[in-house]
Structure 1
Amino acid sequence: MNPDPALVIAAHGSHLNAESSSPTFAHADTIRATGAFSEVREAFWKEEPSFREALRTVGAEEVYLVPLFISEGYFTEQVIPREFRLDGWDPEMWDSDGTSATHATLTAGDTGQTVHYCGPAGTHDSMSDVIVQRAKSVTDDPDVGEGFGLAVVGHGTERNENSAKAIEYHADRIRGMDRFDEVEALFMDEDPEVDDVTDYFESEDVVVVPLFIADGYHTQEDIPEDMGLCEDYRDGYDVPTDVDGHDIWYAGAVGTEPLMADVILERAADAGADLDAAIAEIRDRTGGANPATGD
């Protein structure tokens, strides 16, 4: 086996949406180009290559495993550890309150590799920077903030309370930057709902950033229609679109932002990987050289 560490990015994927895996492959390519790891592999729950076989394609003795998921829950606490056969795994190893997962070092039962299992990308502090970067991208304004409201949108579900926690966590962090005039956490399936986005803002301009990894049914169809950007998503809509006297700048899934590759590296770095040079390179290349959070 190769003594130099490898990186495996674990994502959901989809049998129904061919573009679901595109961000994962793009971020893997960005990281691969830095040469920071001996190998970079993508693995999916609903596509190939699968979680179950991923480690068998890796020749490294040491692996950093980063879930490209938004929140802690069923997939990060049960599915991924089970499918990667991480011996001795227990969610208590992360000592998390729902948004503070770090990492745990385990052994893969079938391959014997040392696996540094990291918390999900979506709850890492640097995700706040990606949300801000997404607002910059959609407005084409590197100084966007003053005079603008920001809506961070999540799915929300009674089945996993951590789903809402991740959205609220980043909304709170960005609110603390005092960059935007207003910052609100909104949801699709619980209150406050994104359908009523204009009810929650006084700002005439509002940037809406969905905290989803990939664009799909929810981000491309549900949210634009629910907000009133269009009656039928197939007709398209302008950016911005006037809704009830507010200009709504709809950004699409945050996970498609190139700076997302930085979050994956930050997770691996927190688990012990030597990635300072690679992180600086990606932040410089993707427009995130000056972290919005000041971290």
Structure 2
Amino acid sequence: MQALVIVAHGSHLNPDSSTPTQRHADTIRATGAFDEVKTGFWKEEPSLREVLRTVESEEVYVVPLFISEGYFTEQVIPRELRLDGWDVSQWDSDGLNADTATLVAEDTGQTVHYCGPVGTHESMTDVVVRRAETVTGDPDVGPGFGLAVVGHGTERNENSAKAIEYHAERVRESGRFDEVRALYMDEEPEVDDVTDHFESEDIVVVPLFVADGFHTQEDIPEDMGLTDDYRTGYDVPAEVDGHRIWYAGAVGTEALMADVVLERAADAGADIEDAIASVREETRETPAAGD
């Protein structure tokens, strides 16, 4: 038997924080690729410390639903899962290419394939683009549009910006959009000045966050000038400084994110090619803007 465990931060304050994680788990569970699909959280139940005890399978693929490598993926999750012999050097990563470390959970004896975070996987670039398609309702969106990939940014974790730059560069190299920029909340260049960084009249803004919360629902819309008060809502697109801003909300809420979770597990050795194809087919249709 083999199991998949998706681990995420969760929140005591935002009841919707865990919703994307649960939805992606449901999508993957429906494929039947794993005997068990479980979720575990740092700030919600089931906790990271107890989640492996809810799993019967002896072989477990653990995929962190986090954007970047850092404190949680390198310290908190391995510690809480009690992964014997864990050392971050086993990933041999420069902050972007963490792959898999196979270890044993000390208290359960299970073999755990501990994967890198979804946010640095190359398939996340597809999710960013799909998010742009979803918010505009246009499966061919790109020509005539600018794309802003937005991250938190922090001096405390230099890897925080790496994932943002990585995906922005991959989209830029594809040539699909007229302009592509990486912008941040707490670093330069800042998302507050989004219209200063684009000549394109239409700009799609995709925050590289796992779930919608305080930053994506309140800070970013107000900082960009979409609204003076997030509680009153805003138009999509919204007119700002002569530009149309198509604000997509958190990338992690996009259904295709389930594909990235599966890709991480496949890279770790799970035989799930049919499930990956199934999930990609299921999430291929682009809904109309506003749906």
Give TM-score scaled by structure 1 length: 0.96
Provide the secondary structure at the position in 2 that maps to 1:190. Answer: coil
Distance 1:148 1:92 in 2: 41
RMSD: 0.8
The answer on whether the counterparts of 1:30 and 1:261 sit within 8 Å (CA) in structure 2 is yes
Give, in whole Å, the separation in 2 of the partners of 1:204 and 1:140: 17
Which of the numbers 63, 67, 80 marks the counterpart of 2:64?
Answer: 67
Aligned to 2:289: none
Contact map agreement 1:21 1:214 (CA 8 A) in 2: yes
Q: Distance in 1 between matches of 2:234 and 2:136?
A: 15
Amino acid at match of 2:248: A
Give the Cα separation in 2 of the matches to 1:278 and 1:8: 16
1:292 matched residue in structure 2: none
Shift of 1:288: 7.5
Instruction: Specify the alignment match of 1:247 in structure 2.
Output: 244
Query: Which of 61, 85, 90 lines up with 1:88 in the alignment?
Result: 85
Q: Give the equivalent residue in structure 2 for 1:293.
A: none
Q: Deviations over 1:96-131 (max 9, x none)?
A: 110110000000000000000000000000000000
Residues 228-239 of structure 1: pairs in structure 2 closer than 5 A: 228-239=225-236
Deviations 1:158-192 (A, max 9, x none): 00000000100000111011000000000000000
Equivalent residue, structure 2, for 1:144: 141
What is residue 279 of structure 1 aligned with on the other side?
276
Corresponding residue number in structure 2 for 1:32: 29
Q: Is the 8 A contact 1:133 1:288 kept in 2?
A: no
Alignment of 1:202 onto 2:238 = no
Checking the alignment, whether the CA contact within 8 Å between 1:9 and 1:28 is kept in structure 2 is: yes
Following superposition, which runs of at least 4 residues in structure 1 exceed 3 angstroms of deviation?
none
Alignment of 1:142-181 (within 5 A): 142-181=139-178
How big is each residue's C-alpha offset from its partner over 1:200-221, in whole Å with a ceiling of 9 and x where there is no partner? 0000000000000000000000
Q: Is the 8 A contact 1:6 1:38 kept in 2?
A: yes
Question: Percent identity among equivalent residues?
Answer: 77
Maintained 8 Å contact 1:129/1:288? no
Name the structure 2 match of 1:129: 126
Q: What code does the residue aligned with 2:79 have? A: R
Do structure 1's residue 213 and structure 2's residue 210 form an aligned pair? Answer: yes
| Normalised TM-score (structure 2) | 0.98
Unpaired stretches in structure 1, ≥5 consecutive residues: 290-295
* Gap regions ≥5 residues in structure 2: 287-291
* Residues 1:102 and 2:99 aligned together: yes
Separation (CA, whole Å) in 2 of partners of 1:275 and 1:231: 47
One-letter identity of the residue aligned with 1:17? N
For 1:26 and 1:285, the matched residues in 2 are separated by 13
Correspondent of 2:19 among 19, 22, 34: 22
Q: Which residue of 1 aligns with 2:3?
A: 6
Choose which of 219, 222, 225 in structure 1 pairs with 2:219: 222
Q: Which whole-Å deviations, capped at 9, do the CAs of 1:218-244 have from their partners, x for residues lacking one?
A: 000000000000000001100000100
Matched, 1:259 2:261: no
The residue type paired with residue 229 of structure 1 is: L
Distance in 1 between residues matched to 2:285 and 2:52, nearest whole Å: 31
- Name the CA distance, whole Å, in 2 between partners of 1:91 and 1:201: 39
